[in-house]
Structure 1
Amino acid sequence: MELHHEFTVPVPVDDAWRALLDIERVAPCLPGAVVEEYDGKTVTGSVKVKVGPVTVTYRGTAVFEEQDEPAHRIVLAASGRETRGQGTARATVTATLAERDGGTAVSVRTDLTVTGRPAQFGRGVLAEVGDRLVGQFAACLAERLTERPQDEPVLDEEEPEPLDLLRTAGLPVAKRAAALLAVALLAWLTARLQRRRRTGRHR
C-alpha cells in the first residue's frame, strides 16, 4: 500500500535536512523504536507494535539508498521480521524537503507491505495510524529543533513503550476492531453449533 503525508517544521530547510539525518536525535520521536547501531548509511534496530493484548517486535535494518542534499531528497528502504512469528514489514520511504515561509515543508511517500497480525486491520486503519503517527512525529521533531542545546533533555536508557495501534488509531478504529472480533467470534460459535448438530444427527 502507498501512503502520503506532509508536515512542516519551523526551521530553515538546511537545518531540517541535518536533523532528519541525525538518527539518534530523531529516533525518540518514533514510538516503539530503538536504534541499536548507525554507521551513517544503515540503521539497525527494532520496533515494538502493540495490537490489543498482543505485542509484536520487529527487528531489522533501514538503509539510506539516497541522500541528495542539493535536492533535499531522502530515500530509505527498511525491512524487518517478527522476533516471534512469521510476520514481516517492508517499506520504502521517500522524503522531500522544501523551503516554505521561513520553515520547511516535508513530503513523505511510503510504499508499505505488512504481513502478520498488524496486517489484519487493512489499509484504512493503517492509513489512520500513519496520519496520527506522522502528526506526533512532526510535533516532537519541531519541539526538538526549536530547543536550545542546553535545554535538550538527557535521554535515559529505558526501553520505549510499544506503538499501540488501537490507541494511536483512536476510538472509532478500536470500535471497528472490536466489531470484527465480535463477527469472527459469532461465526466461530455458529460453526461449532452446526458441527454439534450434525454430530448429534449421526449418532
Structure 2
Amino acid sequence: MELHHDFTVPVPVDDAWQALLDIEGVAPCLPGAVVENVERGDGTTVTGSVKVKVGPVTVAYRGTAVFEEQDASAHRMVLVASGREMRGQGTARATVTGTLSEHDGGTAVSVHTELTVTGRPAQFGRGVLAEVGDRLAGQFAACLADRLTTGPEPTAEEPAALTDEQPQPLDLLRTAGVPVAKRAALAVAALAALAYVARRLLRRGRKGRTCQRG
C-alpha cells in the first residue's frame, strides 16, 4: 500500500534536514522503536526493533533500515526498511521517500511510503493502517518540532535510544482512535467467528468420516 503524509516544523530547512538524518535523535519520536546500532558510511545503515501492540497481542519486529539516497542539495532522502517478527512469520517492508522545502520561514516535509505488511497487523487493512499513519505523522511532527525548538531533554552520556530502557509498544488500536478501533475490533471478531465455524465444520467432517468407517 502507498501512504502520503505532509507536515511542517518551525525551523529552517537545513536544520530540519540534519535533524531527520540523526536517527538516534529522532528515535524517541517514533513509538515502539529502539535503535540498536548505527553504521555510517556511503549509506547509513541502522539496526533496531519495533514493537507493535494489536489488542492483547504484542508483535516485535527486528530488522534494518538503509539510507539509499541522501541528496543534501535537493533535501531529498530515501530510506528502505525491512524487518521480520521475532516470534512469528510476519514481515514488514517500507520504502520511505522524504523531501523538504522552505515554507513561511519553516520547513515543509513531504513523506511518501510504500508499505508491505504480512502477519497479524495486516488484518486491519489499508483504511486502519492509513489512519494510524496519519496520527503517527502528526505525533512525530509535534515531537520533532518540540525537540528542534527546545532541544532534547538532558540525558546521560549514552543516548536514550541506545540504552536498555525499552519504550512502550506502538498500540495500533489506541493510536487509530475509538471509531477506527471499533471497526478493527469488529473485523477481528468476524475473523475469529469464521475461524471458529471452520474448525467446527472440520470436526464434523472428521466425525462423519469416522462413523462411515465404523
TM-score where L is the length of structure 1: 0.91
Q: Distance in 2 between matches of 1:122 and 1:35?
A: 27
Would you say 1:141 and 2:141 are equivalent positions? no
- Of stretches 183-192 and 29-38 in structure 1, the one that deviates more from structure 2 is 183-192
Q: Distance in 2 between matches of 1:193 and 1:46?
A: 38
- 1:153: how far off? 3.3
Query: What pairs with 1:32-71 in structure 2 (closer than 5 Å)?
Result: 32-40=32-40, 41-71=44-74
| 1:99 aligned residue (88, 97, 102) | 102
Q: Taking structure 1 as reference, are residues 98 and 85 closer, same or farther at Cα in structure 2, changes over 3 Å only?
A: same
Residue 177 of structure 1 is matched in structure 2 by: 184
Matched residues, number:
200
- Percent identity at matched positions? 75
Q: Distance in 1 between matches of 2:69 and 2:8?
A: 21
Q: Which runs of 5+ in 1 are unaligned?
A: none
Q: Which runs of 5+ in 2 are unaligned?
A: none
The CA RMSD measured in Å over matched residues stands at 2.0
Residue 126 of structure 2 is matched in structure 1 by: 123
Residue 152 of structure 1 is matched in structure 2 by: 153
- 1:193: how far off? 6.5
The question of whether the paired residues in 1 share the 8 Å contact of 2:79 and 2:96 is answered with: yes
4+ residue runs over 6 A deviation: 192-198
- 1:178: how far off? 1.9
Q: Taking structure 1 as reference, are residues 195 and 13 closer, same or farther at Cα in structure 2, changes over 3 Å only?
A: closer
Q: Distance in 2 between matches of 1:133 and 1:96?
A: 18
Q: Deviations over 1:127-148 (max 9, x none)?
A: 0000000100000000000014
Would you say 1:86 and 2:93 are equivalent positions? no
TM-score where L is the length of structure 2: 0.86
- 1:186: how far off? 3.9
